[in-house]
Chain A
Amino acid sequence: ELKVEQNPLFLSMQEGKNYTIYCNYSTTSDRLYWYRQDPGKSLESLFVLLSNGAVKQEGRLMASLDTKARLSTLHITAAVHDLSATYFCAVDPTDMRFGAGTRLTVKP
């Protein structure tokens, strides 16, 4: 059975700091997605990574994919309070399966 594991599950950061969230998955897949969920809201797509070595950047967030290692990372640069949310990675071999999420809190 496909497993998608994220770590850390909880992350408290100071504004201005950098950090990386990791996503490991257990089956072969060339497609990996990152989503964001604000409290009480639905999920919003952040990045779509479709091949080995893919890198996508949007503002202070950068996502990468290593299909051989079955690993994706979401790097946060110079965190700001507005980035506080829960971040999910998802893998889509046939249907999209999500990790447990990383709850990020950015403190001033």
Chain B
Amino acid sequence: DAGVTQSPTHLIKTRGQHVTLRCSPISGHKSVSWYQQVLGQGPQFIFQYYEKEERGRGNFPDRFSARQFPNYSSELNVNALLLGDSALYLCASNRDGNSPLHFGNGTRLTVT
């Protein structure tokens, strides 16, 4: 079975630009979560989607948005990029509320 896949793997953007990150969950997983991980820190929760509806939102500005599609894949959008948005963005999926998250390999975003 394919795991969680994310694209692109690396991305370089300049301040003020917009970025879209993509994620495909494991087949059969209806929940997708997004995390931001800055080097040396734990993953910070951004969004959770379940059955195409937002189930949770972390403490991130409105420049961050996401959506989930009918096939359960998801996009994370970040507008007006700041240098501080440079991080590894992780997507994770799980089957239900009692199961662990399965993480993708992440998208490394660098903002210059």
Contacts and interface: CB of A to CB of B under 8 A. Distances in A.
Contacts, number: 53
Considering residues A88, A92, A95, A97, which has the most beta carbons from chain B within 10 angstroms of its beta carbon?
A95
B98 A31 contact: yes
B43 interface: yes
Interface residues of B, number: 23
Contacts of B48: 95
Interface in B41-99: 41-45, 48, 55-56, 58, 90, 92, 97-99
Nearest to A48: B100
A100 interface: yes
A90 B48 CA distance: 15
A44 B92 CA distance: 11
A87 B44 CA distance: 15
Nearest to A42: B103
Contact of B97 (A4, A90, A92): A92
B104 interface: yes
A101 B98 CA distance: 21
Contacts of B33: 95-96
Contact of A42 (B41, B55, B56, B105): B105
Contacts of B104: 42
Contacts of A31: 97-98
Nearest to B102: A45
A42 B42 contact: no
A50 interface: yes
Interface in A89-105: 90, 92, 94-101
B109 to A, nearest CB: 15
Contacts of B100: 33, 35, 45, 48
A45 B48 CA distance: 18
Q: Which 8 A-B pairs have the closest CB atoms?
A: A45-B100, A95-B56, A98-B42, A42-B103, A43-B103, A95-B48, A100-B42, A98-B43
